[in-house]
Structure 1
């Protein structure tokens, strides 16, 4: 067993944090940092098992980096009656049960008490699994390497239970990986884990969330969506993201720019409430647009400090100004200058995209809204002549009603597309692909028209100068 971080860490207690350089930006970045440490598992024999919920966000990035399947290992602790934080054991999918005999004996837990606790926890486990297994059948671990991933390891109790469950499911080798873990907990994982790989192993851990700049809660919908994305066929190789910085008044916003060869236009993403340039959904759609020949820009509309204040998330004027700054920045980038600009917005970001499109000076060629809130841009709708596609899930009735009402108020070419069975996050299998296909067709039609219009204007200007 080894810890990748321990090999290089100085022995000083002062290195437990090493100022801000040791803070992880978020779970997505933390997962990407783990991939080089896990390169030996890029062997076709590894299954990545994310521990819900935050471990699945990290695990998704690890699975992508290793080109390995992603599954979820749901663990429920069997707490001692009257002392639920003390684990008498744990249960997992498929009827797996692991006991801690020392705790059971030491606390005098009898069979009836243990059975009662297990019934309660089994019901909770089954409820969580019901949603997960709709999008991802259980991956067989027999004879394979189980790579268990969490967003941090404090006491190690959950990780130990997960190791035992993976072993009970037939895993040949069990490995635990986490961005950060208490050094004492890493040592205690033996013999349950054959190997432990961590980016950071401080002697004084504290709260796991304190090691992240951005550590938002993760809901079951996000877990299901990531598992479904991982199980879906991967798009063709992406255009290669370039990290960029976009000046927007008093702040600078980080972004990811991808420019495939011969790109006929660029699509700027406006993320929804609580999301960022690292949104797995929007990254997935961006890759599909790259494959179709569009450049893409994903950037954060808010700084980390700004995003803490929920009022900023719904400040459509502010978000629209940030989009305007990004479009202005694009006009001066040689790789994409002169290409027509489309906007792809989700949730509150869609309202910002509509507000930006209402400004003729920005010359937006097309707008696509996925599960958007056009009602938040109500005062701009009559001024929008930009071709606008509103995509809404058929199982998202409230948002569907808001979009139907907004459609009537839009002035330019417009269409409402309903994806059957999709809920607000488009987490159901295949629904995000349908939304991406609709968006691609809309941009292909209307950005091509915008480009032709630009060429016509340039040609007329050239004739006038002769």
Structure 2
């Protein structure tokens, strides 16, 4: 029998309402939606039942350092629920709980204001409460919501969802009075698998649905509210700015002419910042790699930067680190980059990266004895199995007893094979346990024992012990990342960027322990380094590395975004597909890139100093393009654009109007031939 697939959340809500007919027309019923995905479903339920609709905001209280592990939750109406088992087993002190709760309370209040305005929460005492979400995977948020609503003394609690894991539904039946579910897929894969359209629900959609549920509104007010919430750029061919404003922007740019002093103004702007974040608008543009390398070389020579942290897996980058520091047997940079064999290989195995790695090694060879050598480090988390092997190799050499204990812990992963995605999928199925606890236990064991390196192994090999501890951190984070990517809409992104931030923090502490405070250049995509609070990401509850670094270090961080208008890029059409040299379409009207193209300057630096005329002119949100390892021109607006307030996102912009694809070290005839132009065979 075919499994029911809903067209979208609205259709799922109508089907769910049919199952709730017994509650129609009752004055004691109230429908509470879990935002954001639950609101379109609940809106249909409330309309069909003739019941009032409201949101019930729940915020998980994550264990510090392991935020994906919930020690409790807070919810609408100053309700707090604690997982006493987690709190007791981890011996979490009350002041930690209070600190986390205070932080999450701020976000809860923000969402309350955003969704409800000044309205108080709907009274539920003595009433029948129907809690609605778009589906249940682990059910952690719904469980917290049930427990929180229970504290407000309702007459009855009904959990209603279109789709759910059978296991989760059974567990919730022990907590709620009634559980209503349209489909219980077997096997259950993910909530999104029950929908044809499972696009992210936006905050403005939530507000609109809640307003409609209140009753007729003044159409002019609704239009004005939407325009205020998300300014829409005009459909223009180049810019929506007046000629005088364009002239003001033109006077602020610093042309890049290709000479040795091009970046003097940028280094002056960077000043004494300890952390320079160098972005990119794609993972396959030659100019982005080349210019980052040139800027980084000057930061190393002139500003005392001692580390380059890149959006790459730790063990593969560690091999390159050993090469540039003169500690490896690799013959050259091409061989040192040999660890980067996982898709997308071209991201770090490319000709520009070879040149930079060789420069870095040569620079280190010129340093006097005792002067710290510059290292290159990875801060990403995809190397689940490679990092486990690296931990075991290090411990086998330094402490065989600890290696045996680590091998026993990591054996949990053996039954899932080598794929992290398979691990994530399988652990979401009924009766399949995860490896969360052994991964965490190994990280904690290494962290405890490396606090006193000499007492542990009678060795001064501080670098290798740091390498082992970082690999254990990767295993713990990768386990959580793959496990959550099939269960929740957003948490895997946040977990990944938190891991990047934690890895950077560990690196900073490690390097600072060798003398003066560390200075680091960070290479990653604009979407990781530009402050998420200035983009649509924040509306989805997402954060990123750039935001976390600014929150932690303030003005010690200087963030530089890179943009392009058109050209070519190395990218794939699908995950794990071959690299292609693709043509980058001209930037869309209404975008920052189209505006920069209209200036006619080609290549330039644009400082976004707060209070400057150019920062004020660029403050209205516009479209910004982001090309990752996959580029799909046919769905470019949906797949590669988002809205951003550029002066709040970056401290400066480097724009290269026409760019070229980076050259992979290994490429196919398909890459060499490139993409056929749209005008073929008519245009010339």
Shorter-chain TM-score tier? 0.3 to 0.5
TM-score norm. by structure 2 comes to 0.31
TM-score norm. by structure 1 comes to 0.46
Larger RCO of the pair (alpha carbons < 8 Å, separation 6+): 2
Pair member with larger Rg: 2
